[in-house]
């Protein structure tokens, strides 16, 4: 699952998707002709590829869904699956028939996306009727949750620094970071350079989840209504913690220049002790059969760990597709196919929420730890919205996240203060809502 996500990890710039659509001659819903058209109708499908969601992953999943919907050929388009970019595609008349990740906010309100009925979703085994829902209408197919982010830690490096267990309060987290630094170990692998600056914001996501959302899970719903501001003390305090982690030398100094793939590999190679990342990281660690990686939720000041969760809104369908009913049917088949769900567990660390689904045998140790932590957080009432990845009501407005990511880099590198960072976010949020 990519919630979507979570912020999807792009290997291609948005311009690639537009170019691909132009070069293939496909407009939304237009059936292809000639040798391309193995079925009666060709549908275009926009996906984002990543180290977890490889070309082979997508090709196999597409093939499985297509077996359930005869007469359809899927033309895969690789590009940027974000609400902002989707709006550009609609504006230029190049929107595909189907989007792999939830991009509903801002488009559903304009009538650009096809709706599902609750009966359609229930018949397919869907159990979540909030994710991807806007103004009470269903635009997505939520089948799996992800925690974005959690903190993964290297048990061997913790032991080397004399740390016997993960921290339970923010004060303990800072103490542990100081102990790791004193032992010559980089406490955090934080960063993301080039096209992967999205990864830098995961630390902010963690701190805000613990400091703001543990106290008020509806904070971003209130922000949408202008009832709270980023310049409010609780958010500014969170931004200050992020800035201080870097200023105090608690992050790998090379992190800000690493790509996402290199950032992940650096943590796996033991270059830092802690790594804030989405639950999809469990797949990367488990694929290497590592036994020295643990996981915990970012701790709050009061000792309640934040477990930010989002059930991915799933795929969206272009309401203007010439074959909208067939596109909806194919999207449902893709999202609920059992082998596809198994694949999201194994390759992307998804927590599947489809009725009757059973986790396949042989899942990795870290995935099992993560699910155990998730179940514990649910029981303790410690789950909060993964605010950077919500796609329904309370979602960040289109285009805002890109502005926030860029500003967060300045926050982490000392180019802006927490107060100015928060002020800028309020300005950009207001502009994005227009």
SS (H, E, C) 304-367: CEEEEEEECCCCEEECCCCCHHHHHHHHHHHHHCHHHHHHHHHHHCCEECCCCCCCCCCCCHHH
Residue carrying the six token digits 């709006």: 87
Q: Is the predicted pLDDT of residue 17 greater than 60, yes or no? A: no
Overall CATH class of domain 147-309+372-433 = alpha beta
Asked if residue 347 lies in contact with residue 124, where contact means CB atoms within 8 angstroms, the answer is no
Asked if residue 246 lies in contact with residue 412, where contact means CB atoms within 8 angstroms, the answer is yes
| Buried-state track 34-46, b at ≥16 Cβ within 10 A, e below 16 | eeeeebebbbbbb
Instruction: Report the pLDDT averaged over residues 348-352.
Output: 88
Q: Is the predicted pLDDT of residue 18 greater than 50, yes or no? A: no
Confidence of residue 9 (pLDDT cuts 50, 70, 90): very low
DSSP code at position 115: -
Measured between alpha carbons, how far is 255 from 327 in angstroms, rounded to an integer? 41
DSSP code at position 3: B
For helices 338-348 and 55-68, the axis angle rounded to 10 degrees is: 160
Q: Rounded mean pLDDT of the chain? A: 87
Instruction: Report the pLDDT averaged over residues 355-367.
Output: 91
Residue 361 token pair: 């045998």
Neighbours of 423 (CB within 10 A): 16
Please tell me the predicted confidence (pLDDT) of residue 105. Answer: 78
Residues contacting 280, CB < 8 A, separation 6+: 6, 52, 146, 348, 349, 350
**pLDDT, tens only, 189-225:** 998 877 899 999 999 999 999 999 999 999 999 999 9
Higher pLDDT, 351 or 29: 351
Measured between alpha carbons, how far is 257 from 236 in angstroms, rounded to an integer? 26
**pLDDT, tens only, 25-82:** 333 333 332 223 345 899 999 998 887 789 999 999 999 999 999 999 999 999 887 7
Please tell me the predicted confidence (pLDDT) of residue 39. Answer: 54
Please tell me the predicted confidence (pLDDT) of residue 33. Answer: 29
Q: Is 238 left (phi over 0), alpha (psi -120 to 50) or beta?
A: alpha
All structural domains of the chain with their residue ranges:
41-142+314-349, 147-309+372-433
Which one, of 127, 249, 277, lies nearest residue 180 by Cα? Answer: 249
Query: What is the radius of gyration, based on Cα positions, of the chain?
Result: 21
Inter-CA distances, 388 with 5, 78, 225, 404, Å: 9, 23, 17, 10
Please tell me the predicted confidence (pLDDT) of residue 8. Answer: 34
SS (H, E, C) 19-37: HHHHHHCCCCCCCCCHHHC
Count how many residues are written for the chain. 434
Asked if residue 107 lies in contact with residue 85, where contact means CB atoms within 8 angstroms, the answer is no
**pLDDT, tens only, 233-253:** 999 999 999 999 999 999 999
Neighbours of 307 (CB within 10 A): 26
- The beta-strand segments (E) located in 148-243 are 150-154
Which range has the top average pLDDT, 19-23, 136-140, 261-265? 261-265
Measured between alpha carbons, how far is 189 from 182 in angstroms, rounded to an integer? 16
**pLDDT, tens only, 293-320:** 999 999 999 988 889 988 777 899 999 9
Residue 54 token pair: 């490889």
Task: Quickly list DSSP for 394-431.
Answer: TPPPTTHHHHHHHHHHHHHTTSS-HHHHHHHHHHHHHH
Please tell me the predicted confidence (pLDDT) of residue 390. Answer: 82
Instruction: Report the pLDDT averaged over residues 146-171.
Output: 96
pTM, 2 dp: 0.75
DSSP code at position 291: S
Please tell me the predicted confidence (pLDDT) of residue 362. Answer: 85
Measured between alpha carbons, how far is 134 from 104 in angstroms, rounded to an integer? 8
Higher pLDDT, 103 or 279: 279
Q: Is the predicted pLDDT of residue 329 greater than 60, yes or no? A: yes
Asked if residue 20 lies in contact with residue 79, where contact means CB atoms within 8 angstroms, the answer is yes
Residue carrying the six token digits 């990740």: 101
Please tell me the predicted confidence (pLDDT) of residue 80. Answer: 82
Overall CATH class of domain 41-142+314-349 = alpha beta
């Amino acid at each position: 699952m990519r919630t979507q996500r979570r912020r999807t990890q792009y290997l291609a710039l948005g311009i690639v998707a537009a170019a691909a659509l132009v070069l293939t001659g496909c407009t939304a819903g237009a059936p292809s002709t000639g040798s391309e058209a193995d079925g009666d109708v060709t549908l275009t499908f926009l996906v984002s590829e990543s180290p977890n969601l490889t070309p082979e992953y997508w090709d196999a999943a597409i093939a499985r869904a297509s077996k359930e919907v005869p007469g359809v050929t899927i033309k895969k388009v690789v590009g940027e699956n974000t609400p902002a970019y989707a709006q550009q595609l609609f504006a230029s008349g190049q929107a595909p028939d189907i989007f792999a990740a939830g991009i509903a906010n801002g488009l559903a309100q304009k009538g650009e996306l096809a709706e599902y009925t609750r009966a359609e979703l229930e018949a397919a085994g869907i159990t979540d009727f909030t994710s991807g829902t806007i103004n009470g209408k269903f635009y997505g197919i939520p089948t799996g949750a992800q925690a974005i982010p959690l903190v993964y830690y290297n048990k061997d490096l913790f032991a080397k620094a004399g740390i016997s267990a993960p921290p339970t309060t923010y004060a303990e987290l800072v103490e542990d970071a100081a102990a790791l630094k004193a032992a010559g170990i980089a406490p955090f692998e934080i960063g993301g350079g080039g096209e992967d600056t999205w990864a830098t914001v995961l630390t902010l996501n963690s701190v805000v989840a613990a400091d703001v959302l543990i106290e008020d899970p509806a904070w971003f719903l209130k922000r949408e209504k202008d009832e709270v501001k980023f310049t409010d003390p609780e958010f500014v305090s969170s931004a200050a913690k992020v800035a201080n982690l870097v200023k105090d030398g608690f992050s790998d100094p090379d992190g800000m220049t690493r790509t996402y793939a290199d950032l992940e590999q650096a943590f796996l190679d033991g270059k830092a002790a802690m790594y804030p990342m989405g639950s999809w990281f469990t797949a990367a660690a488990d694929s290497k059969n590592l036994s020295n990686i643990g996981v915990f939720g970012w701790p709050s000041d009061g000792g309640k760990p934040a477990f930010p969760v989002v059930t991915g809104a799933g795929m969206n369908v272009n309401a203007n597709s010439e074959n909208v009913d067939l596109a909806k049917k194919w999207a449902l088949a893709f999202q609920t196919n059992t082998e596809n769900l198994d694949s999201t567990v194994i390759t992307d660390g998804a927590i599947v929420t489809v009725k009757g689904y059973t986790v396949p045998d042989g899942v990795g140790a870290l995935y099992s730890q993560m699910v155990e932590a998730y179940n514990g957080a649910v029981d303790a009432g410690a789950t909060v919205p993964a605010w950077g990845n919500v796609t329904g009501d309370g979602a960040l407005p289109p285009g805002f996240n890109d502005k926030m990511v860029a500003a967060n880099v300045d926050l982490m590198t000392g180019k802006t203060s927490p107060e100015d960072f928060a002020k800028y976010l309020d300005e950009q949020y207001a502009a994005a809502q227009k």
